[in-house]
Structure 1
């Protein structure tokens, strides 16, 4: 990359006829950071948060294939696919090593990328990792995911009942930890209005891969890892975050007071401060 960037929208073709979008924000001399949004998340949703990091980092945020403005390929959109995709994206950007921050599904994708390309990671920060191993909820989701792959597409929505707008709205009322009721209501209404725009293949493939993912790979990831979690996360508990931490020998874990499962939107300032404190102003080797 050359020149000084403030905000650039880029297009990348990882394969024939598949067009994927990414955004670059910040000064070119800052250490590069890859930020991966959460499940169903897009750059448009996290733009306010990523701007908080641009004073210290050159932030690259993709709409992963099948999400937002990016096309969906015919392949299964599982975590392994997304890990390979990120390798191609960094090749396209001529970046050899990078700091990687992922939220929710983005954390799982970042984890898989670190497993596939350990030498391309400087630091790995995982926010609200969807680690549900050995939980009743995780077992139920895993069974539903496995069952959904054996039924016709027309029946498949039954196995994703949590996407029902009424069910999701009720869950959001209790689980979201925005600072004001207005912020919470706006988020719920936006989710309801935009759900029909989501690519169903991406929604189903990514979810099934995420809930069945093998996190025992952590033992093979030797890079510096930092975990961040909302201390009021009702989807992945604090105890579960501690269990996830135990997969590594030397891993740090910060809890954000008053935050739920989506700190980039619920507690953006606090999350940005932790990330900047952790990474500091270090330059890539």
Structure 2
């Protein structure tokens, strides 16, 4: 069994906790978790060890998540993209493969578009940034502006059953008890404040502020798009469209899967990523 170590990177005073495994001499792969109730350990629990057989795997907790510091600047997608650059510099990684899920996919995509020379391959998993429509339309916008996200997270922090219901709403089947327990622990640790701040930044009356669709034809990096067929959060059509716009892209739709392929279908997901990398 491969050892997974926990470390801290001091990024100009911002402490980023990260998991790492594999031979330091192997090609690096950086895994970026999603938003809301996520963390590196939650999304990538079943992915790190298998990849570590052939790669140096690094999975950071972004600011406001897991055991990392709270954000040291106003939260936005640009902020998280810049933090990724700071982190890679601190851990002395010049060029790497990036794998990002949901919000982490948006961060990986934004960083790649800004630094094509630093990304060897890109994997986008049910990724943010592939469209501009706000989930729920105008009601979704009002929900964010009225501060209801914070109220929802306050409820989730107090109720394991509510956390289970929340997970059930984004997955294709009943979440296992292990996943529910881990998500509940994460909520009680960080409270969702970073996610609420990002939503305040991203959700506008005109749609989502970060939409990379117009830049996808410039993405000159081999890209794999993995998407749950039954994802209720990010439309599968966005991944298909992105695959037609990115010059060198492969799209893989996972049947009977929702928004969390690495946890819902870990073996199938790991096989897809391993083969691509």
Match of 1:113 among 104, 111, 114: 111
What TM-score do you get using the length of structure 2 for normalisation?
0.82
* Cα distance, 1:134–1:203 mapped onto 2, change above 3 Å: closer
Match of 1:254 among 242, 249, 252: 252
How big is each residue's C-alpha offset from its partner over 1:15-35, in whole Å with a ceiling of 9 and x where there is no partner? 23x321112201123211001
Report what 1:234 is aligned to.
Answer: 232
* Cα distance, 1:168–1:243 mapped onto 2, change above 3 Å: farther
* Cα distance, 1:42–1:137 mapped onto 2, change above 3 Å: closer
After the TM superposition, which residues 66-77 of structure 1 pair with which residues of structure 2 at under 5 Å, given as runs? 66-77=64-75
Q: Which ranges in structure 1 are unaligned for 5 or more consecutive residues?
A: 149-155, 280-285
**2:35 corresponds to 1:57:** no
Contact 1:83–1:116 (8 Å) recurs in 2: no
Larger Rg computed on CA atoms: 1
Match of 1:96 among 90, 94, 106: 94
Report what 2:4 is aligned to.
Answer: 7
Task: Find the aligned partners of 2:197 and 2:60 in 1 and give their Cα distance.
Answer: 18
Task: Find the aligned partners of 1:207 and 1:146 in 2 and give their Cα distance.
Answer: 7
What TM-score do you get using the length of structure 1 for normalisation?
0.80
* Cα distance, 1:167–1:85 mapped onto 2, change above 3 Å: same
Shift in Å, 1:185: 4.0
Moved more, 220-229 or 241-250: 241-250
Q: Which ranges in structure 2 are unaligned for 5 or more consecutive residues?
A: 203-207
* Cα distance, 1:162–1:237 mapped onto 2, change above 3 Å: farther
Report what 2:21 is aligned to.
Answer: 25
* SS of match in other structure, 2:11: strand
How big is each residue's C-alpha offset from its partner over 1:163-198, in whole Å with a ceiling of 9 and x where there is no partner? 4537764453354235xx5x5344335434542322
RMSD (CA atoms)? 2.7
Shift in Å, 1:266: 0.8
**2:191 corresponds to 1:177:** no
Report what 1:207 is aligned to.
Answer: 199
Report what 2:84 is aligned to.
Answer: 86
* Number of residue pairs matched by the alignment: 263
* Cα distance, 1:237–1:115 mapped onto 2, change above 3 Å: same
Shift in Å, 1:118: 1.6
Task: Find the aligned partners of 1:118 and 1:132 in 2 and give their Cα distance.
Answer: 18
